[in-house]
Structure 1
């Protein structure tokens, strides 16, 4: 079974909720499955601040997950218009994978959550694309043929699925946010399968 890596960092649960719906969309495509992984928190004092194995949720990502996947969905909350430090820390450690071309030619999608409506969702999604482009990945966005992009009054952008959590960090996605996250996962899986079959 071919797999797409759904890799995320979530602080209050919103990005995790998006990841679950992206994975659901991936599973809608026959012949492909989602491999869900996360990254540990980091600290400026001692870098890693988590146990080697998470107490709950998916396991931490390993570099072999990148090698074995045929595509990548990458999710992070927004921190001042950029991805959160734990995700950036993980990506910054992928020099060997960059040299070896581990991700070259594989499709990727990005998703995020913000506390406020204009909290930097699109700049965060764009910032997450940059290292993926350096790795030679092919970015898969959300086209406006997904009609929920025109209906949403909260999250959802052509750059990727998103969620507006509000100041209380509410992980409850709107109907449009769910629809777009599922559609994004499904589209990524369809593209990944076509590329893998053509190789």
Structure 2
């Protein structure tokens, strides 16, 4: 599970999938997209990412450049799915990065195993993810993926999952926005869904 996120929403969805994976017989790694640019193995990968004014999140910029540089069939044998987080209020750039990654993976020879999903922070943010995620497990090949498809450039990320289910998330949700706290070994992060943040607000929140 590879994520690109400044506010933490895509990361939280990646951890939600990873927490369920052992029950389905899958061994899963979770890491930012920028940690997986060294190479590729013919296994399976799920990319979850947001767009910020049409640009990749801070932890997905190197991955974006690497992916754009891959030639035809460079990623042949890789099975993938892409899910995007965004806000329709930014109509011109809505879904820009998830669409870019989806198209680039296909152009490089990877095999899409599920249509690209998306969620709008101004709508049913969690429901849209649940609907897309519900059929994800049935799309993989019959044998479990043993490794992430993209080989990490650094050490393996050790992830502690806390309160990953939708129920615990919705405990703090309102009808139009949601905010919750998630604790991991990397520290405490605030994850929010709502209207798009202005650039200066976004960087202050992520600091």
Aligned to 1:35: 29
SS across alignment from 1:108: strand
SS across alignment from 1:11: coil
The Cα of 1:128 is off from its aligned counterpart by 1.6
The Cα of 1:195 is off from its aligned counterpart by 9.6
* CA distances 1:13-70 after superposition (whole Å, capped 9, x unpaired): 111112122324544422x221111145xxxxxxxxxxxxxxxxxxx33635x32x61
Residues 1:19 and 2:14 are matched in the alignment = yes
SS across alignment from 1:8: strand
Aligned to 1:180: 131
Aligned-partner Cα distance in 2 for 1:88–1:19 = 18
TM-score by length of 1: 0.55
Aligned-partner Cα distance in 2 for 1:82–1:96 = 17
Given that 1:73 and 1:110 are in contact with CA atoms closer than 8 Å, whether structure 2 keeps it comes out as yes
Larger fraction in helix: 1
Aligned to 1:140: 113
Instruction: Quote the RMSD (CA, aligned, Å).
Output: 3.6
TM-score by length of 2: 0.53
Aligned-partner Cα distance in 2 for 1:38–1:90 = 9
Q: Which residues of structure 2 form unaligned runs of 5+?
A: 146-207
Aligned-partner Cα distance in 2 for 1:195–1:98 = 27
Aligned to 1:49: none
Q: 136, 140, 150: which is aligned to 1:191?
A: 140
Aligned to 2:189: none
Map 1:50-65 to 2 at 5 A.
60-61=35-36, 63=38
Structure 1 118/26 Cα, relative in aligned 2: closer, same or farther at 3 Å? farther
Map 1:37-116 to 2 at 5 A.
37-39=31-33, 60-61=35-36, 63=38, 66-67=40-41, 70-81=43-54, 83-84=56-57, 86-93=59-66, 98=71, 101=74, 103-116=75-88
